[in-house]
Structure 1
């Protein structure tokens, strides 16, 4: 998809605040600091529409990005970051769960993991949640520029095995630095609209 028009239209914390357009939505989930904002910015061809931060845990709302008047990327708070207070973290859980389980417009969750490392316990818990509620997932293994191309398959196998991925869920090697995997990711997204 060639992206010309994109805007961050709202931050929401409850159902009544969600957009009413009815466009397909793709939620982005991942550990804090795994590269969700970099993924969004690369996919939409912007340098800094989604805020990247060296301080994990910055996203504390559901952020809706409208793309080409056709779909939304929904950035959800990162999981698994210890420095967020327990009370703040406890608020994320129900907000995210409610969105993921009850939102009719949600077509898939784009779960971002780091290709360089085996998925964490939090990554596995998130993926199990998606399986449990029969929510389709597109797993993006990012930071691919940091490992040699010849090792991609080995690292992909580790991700697949550790998450115990469903056969129908794609696993895409991605690099926001080099643009690796962008076309493949857009193809998966567009195929679900």
Structure 2
């Protein structure tokens, strides 16, 4: 049976490792800086307005949020990192939570790391990239906010992202616009290929 993207439901917010679903369903994890448009990418992917809450203030996702697609695949939304105006203690708690998620290698099927197409990846992005590399699991990089670039900037910016994150040849960098939908099909194909589903 093809995967029905319309059947998307919020399952839970995990505040600790004990809350992570471990039912062997594939898990596609999304990470990115607080203001990179992570929720917008998830919403565009599912063609839904607000399944993932789009916060007016960055840093609204403070737990690991799980969405179940068609009863078959989890989309896992990690807390945004970097920008949010929260206390150091809260940032440290997020860090430990994300670390505990990555520490359990049975969880991740595919990683989706979202960066800003306009800028060189930050030190935090590079740290996140290392976590994905060390997981040994496949991941893709989504360069969001493509609609804010001139055509002539796209190629050099994608090359700069690849170079800064020191990505292997087989890691895709997908130019993406959560506004216009560019890159949605390519990201969807990568996810479906990883989880063994079709549309």
Structural RMSD (CA)? 1.4
Q: How many residues align?
A: 193
Q: Is the 8 A contact 1:26 1:73 kept in 2?
A: yes
Secondary structure, in 3 states, of the residue corresponding to 1:27?
A: strand
Find the aligned partners of 1:127 and 1:51 in 2 and give their Cα distance: 24
Corresponding position of 2:162? 160
Q: Structure 1 residues 2, 155: CA separation in 2 closer, same or farther (over 3 Å shift)?
A: farther
Q: Deviations over 1:60-88 (max 9, x none)?
A: 10000111222111111111125210111
The answer to whether structure 1 residue 148 and structure 2 residue 142 are counterparts is: no
TM-score, normalising length: structure 2: 0.92
Find the aligned partners of 1:75 and 1:178 in 2 and give their Cα distance: 21
Find the aligned partners of 1:126 and 1:159 in 2 and give their Cα distance: 13
1:113-192 aligned within 5 A: 113-192=115-194
Q: Is the 8 A contact 2:22 2:107 kept in 1?
A: no
Find the aligned partners of 2:99 and 2:190 in 1 and give their Cα distance: 23
Deviates more, 1:54-63 or 1:126-135: 126-135
Secondary structure, in 3 states, of the residue corresponding to 1:192?
A: helix
Q: CA deviation at 1:186?
A: 0.7
Residue 49 of structure 1 is aligned with which of 37, 48, 51?
Answer: 51
Deviates more, 1:87-96 or 1:20-29: 20-29
Corresponding position of 2:14? 12
- Detail structure 1 runs of 4+ shifted over 3 Å in the superposition: none
Find the aligned partners of 2:85 and 2:184 in 1 and give their Cα distance: 32
Find the aligned partners of 2:168 and 2:15 in 1 and give their Cα distance: 30
Which ranges of structure 1 fall in alignment gaps of 5 or more residues? none
TM-score, normalising length: structure 1: 0.94
Q: Is the 8 A contact 2:65 2:76 kept in 1?
A: yes
